[in-house]
Structure 1
């Protein structure tokens, strides 16, 4: 089965993935457990095909495969170091990879819909590792896993999402997941040029998930259970005067506006939208969040190898 969109997962699917991820985490905690996992899928191979730069996603997928005893081949700069540089389509590349008896293909593509195009011609499971500003389903799973680990639930939450919401595939995918659970309220904090797209809010309306749009960070942070911040891609900004004073930055002063139980998340990389002096606060979960990507991606590989995912 292909993994191309967060919307394809049911609540039951997500529960099963989370249970598997928790088992992976527990098993990796001991030397004996790591040795057992490393013998799980000998002779299986995964290809990682990345048309855009990646640190956490690519390395966690490759580490996940290796920790399960699988082989890994791939390219980290497919636009420059694959036949894409000669004009080859994603469809033709995937058709060729299908001839190599692989067990899964992980793809990050630079345009929306790249993973779906690959899946349409592939008999090998395709995993979407991000397609332009489209979706990032495995990121949404690790994000939701992080939220549940902290709050014990994925319903009845006030989730504040801020920064570049227009071009953020992680925000779109996480909204798909949160919309599957009852009584969540999402607050989108940004300026007009970067506010959440209509397709996301249309889905929230369809699923009766309440939401609001604002530029007021102070108001948004009050009573927040989750603050999910993203990098503001200023190169897309039409008018710098739109930025509020101080920008959309979480710093030590911002922490005073948040409840003690709030968790602060970020898909990374960050630039200056969360200052480094926030890192030591107990609410900062973004590095733990990144670490959870390993367990989630191990769980997904495990499901695919067993024909469940």
Structure 2
């Protein structure tokens, strides 16, 4: 890090080790942006996710949002859940029992007044949702291959499942996907994930501009 900062005005770091960005920030004398640290956090993804929701609905307050899939190891949903605590939202945490959201995040959300529901039932929950944020089951995060095999393919969002959803439901995904969203969903009005990808361009431009003092 001390070497890299000699070439840079800002360091953007993605690392497999949890806490890597914090460690880098402790030794660097230039700004450090966390672009994902292991299964911990992914704050820049959360900024673009919030921007995407705001652009799609004109608001974030008052929405009912479901987080689906790997909530234990998924850094994108960790960051997003904590950010949504700043808004008046209702959260459904939908996952296999083995992949539930870490307890400290759930407790923090409830302490901050967020109405949180934990469930394994996607089809029973989807009629309630304005936003469904889907994550893949991340094989590379599992310390035990057998644990991964127990939950592989737990959910798939397809057009049959979406028959129970509101017409206004929007589906998000940090990508890449495996099989948790069927490609047939891409052609529906529900799919928001490709616009979500594009949101990363202006949001990260703005973040770099603010960090470097040019905005």
TM-score, normalized by the shorter chain, greater than 0.5: yes
SS in 1 for 2:171: strand
Unpaired runs of 5+ residues, structure 1, are 1-93
The residue correspondences of 1:184-199 to structure 2 (distance < 5 A) are: 184-199=89-104
**Deviation at residue 241 of structure 1 after TM alignment:** 5.8
- Residue matched to 1:249: 156
SS in 2 for 1:222: helix
CA contact (8 A) 2:139 2:148 kept: no
The residue correspondences of 1:30-49 to structure 2 (distance < 5 A) are: none
Deviations 1:85-140 (A, max 9, x none): xxxxxxxxx1112223x211100011110000000011111000000001000000
- Residue matched to 1:164: 70
- Residue matched to 1:297: 204
Matched, 1:238 2:143: no
Cα distance in structure 2, aligned partners of 1:247 and 1:116: 33
Unpaired runs of 5+ residues, structure 2, are none
SS in 1 for 2:187: coil
**Deviation at residue 239 of structure 1 after TM alignment:** 7.7
The residue correspondences of 1:44-123 to structure 2 (distance < 5 A) are: 94-100=1-7, 102-123=8-29
Q: TM-score w.r.t. structure 1 length? A: 0.65
- Alpha-carbon RMSD: 1.7
- Residue matched to 1:272: 179
Cα distance in structure 2, aligned partners of 1:242 and 1:279: 24
- Residue matched to 2:83: 177
CA contact (8 A) 2:78 2:105 kept: yes
- Residue matched to 1:285: 192
Cα distance in structure 1, aligned partners of 2:214 and 2:206: 12
**Deviation at residue 307 of structure 1 after TM alignment:** 6.8
**Deviation at residue 240 of structure 1 after TM alignment:** 5.0
**Deviation at residue 238 of structure 1 after TM alignment:** 2.5
The correspondence for 1:128, drawn from 34, 37, 42, is 34
Label 1:123 to 1:262 Cα distance change in 2 as closer, same or farther (>3 A): same
Cα distance in structure 2, aligned partners of 1:113 and 1:240: 27
- Residue matched to 1:208: 113
SS in 1 for 2:128: coil
SS in 2 for 1:196: coil
Which runs of at least 4 in structure 1 moved beyond 6 Å after TM superposition?
A: none
SS in 2 for 1:213: strand
CA contact (8 A) 2:132 2:171 kept: yes
Cα distance in structure 2, aligned partners of 1:233 and 1:302: 32
SS in 1 for 2:2: helix
Cα distance in structure 1, aligned partners of 2:125 and 2:199: 26
**Deviation at residue 233 of structure 1 after TM alignment:** 2.9
Cα distance in structure 1, aligned partners of 2:213 and 2:150: 53
**Deviation at residue 205 of structure 1 after TM alignment:** 1.6
- Residue matched to 2:46: 140
